[in-house]
Structure 1
Amino acid sequence: MWKPLVACATGVAAATVLAGCGSGDSTVSKTPLPAITEAPSSSSAPAPSPATPPPPPPPPAPDPCAVNLAAPAIARAVSELPPDPRSDQGWNPEPVAGNYNECAQLSAVIIKANTNAPNPNTRAMLFHLGKYIPTGVPDTYGFNAVDATQSTGDTVALAFSGGMGLHSVVRFRWNGDGVELIGNIGG
């Protein structure tokens, strides 16, 4: 007879416990639920660290007014020249020296005859604002350098340096209409 009574008492105790934890319990309704956060997925990029330096700025655009001995205008002008009078050869389009600048009133390149001779003939080609000046220029054969210390935006100083201490500089200037010889300095 005790078995049904124990089962009944156990059922009443369980019902009492369940009733004590009902929705009317004030502790349950005031206790906040834990916040649910999602772990970042492995495919998302990590946030940059404050210690990571910013990427470098892009390189500056090339200066159109810088000296450019690889300018296409030089090769075009060389292709229009008559052959070298001494060797009867064409001219090598790769400058030996120069200060070609498409923004300068006057700039120059020195080229040499396209020959295998030990001392090929050289000549200077003068340019106004990047365009070759084909006529009205004094003789420019024999120069082998541009003297940058005596050249300006409208003046080109062409130099000849030879053996036995022979050195001379001839300056040409753009006068607004053409090229004029303005100085010959021997050394």
Structure 2
Amino acid sequence: MTARRVTGATGALAVVVGLAACGSGDSTVSKTPEASTPAALSPAATPSPTAEAAPPPAPAPTEPPAPDPCAVNLTAPAIAKAVSDLPRDPRSQQGWSPEPIAGNYNECAPLSAVIIRANTNADNPNTRAVLFHLGKYIPSGVPDTFGFNGIDTSQSTGDTIALKYSSGIGLDSVVKFHWNGNGVELIANTPG
């Protein structure tokens, strides 16, 4: 039995001596090879410590985008100019309000229109359509456009405008005008 104790004590002593021989420099971490970096990295490929620490540059101030000339614009100066050139309303003898009550004016359409009303305080002021070709007022050669009070956009295209008269009591009608390449012509008169 004593032989076993000596062997056991000797084995324990060997373990203690073995553990003492392992110092902090013998860890598996220190024996693991470090990752190698290629020696031929160019200076441009190596990020500089100041570039990483610097915040990204502030975005440059941008100007708002220019308005789309082909979008509907009921505040275009061409509308006010055209309205100022119109003869007075024959019923009230008043001028016309430059603020359209309806319209699809744009500078790119072969035919577009705005609906304006007489500049009066009357309950039912006279209305009319003002037609434009590529954003320019068409002063003559246009069929009568008095009395229209809306635009039927479902029947209007780039070269055709569907002007609408709504009486409010079910007697609505639509009249289509078309740009034929040289001028405006009436092409249809249909119930609304």
Aligned partner (choices 128, 133, 158) of residue 128 of structure 1: 133
Alignment RMSD: 2.2
Classify the secondary structure of the residue corresponding to 2:187: strand
Is 1:78 paired with 2:83?
yes
1:57 deviation in Å?
Answer: 7.5
1:47 deviation in Å?
Answer: 3.0
TM-score in terms of structure 2 length: 0.68
- Letter matched to residue 47 of structure 1: A
- Letter matched to residue 48 of structure 1: P
> Distance between the aligned counterparts of 2:175 and 2:61, measured in 1?
46
> Distance between the aligned counterparts of 1:156 and 1:56, measured in 2?
41
Aligned partner (choices 26, 46, 54) of residue 47 of structure 1: 54
Number of aligned positions between the proteins: 141
Is 1:89 paired with 2:94?
yes
> Distance between the aligned counterparts of 1:130 and 1:58, measured in 2?
26
Match of 1:118?
A: 123
Classify the secondary structure of the residue corresponding to 2:55: coil
- Letter matched to residue 103 of structure 1: C
Match of 1:145?
A: 150
* 1:61-111 deviation per Cα after TM superposition (whole angstroms, max 9, x unaligned): 321111110000110111111100000000000101000011110000000
1:163 deviation in Å?
Answer: 2.4
- Letter matched to residue 178 of structure 2: R
TM-score in terms of structure 1 length: 0.70
Structure 2 runs not aligned, ≥5 long? 1-49
Aligned positions of 1:59-78 closer than 5 A: 59-78=64-83
> Distance between the aligned counterparts of 2:93 and 2:66, measured in 1?
42
Classify the secondary structure of the residue corresponding to 1:150: coil
> Distance between the aligned counterparts of 1:138 and 1:74, measured in 2?
19
> Distance between the aligned counterparts of 1:144 and 1:116, measured in 2?
17
> Distance between the aligned counterparts of 1:120 and 1:68, measured in 2?
23
Structure 1 runs not aligned, ≥5 long? 1-39, 41-45
> Distance between the aligned counterparts of 1:48 and 1:55, measured in 2?
15
Is 1:98 paired with 2:98?
no
1:58 deviation in Å?
Answer: 6.3
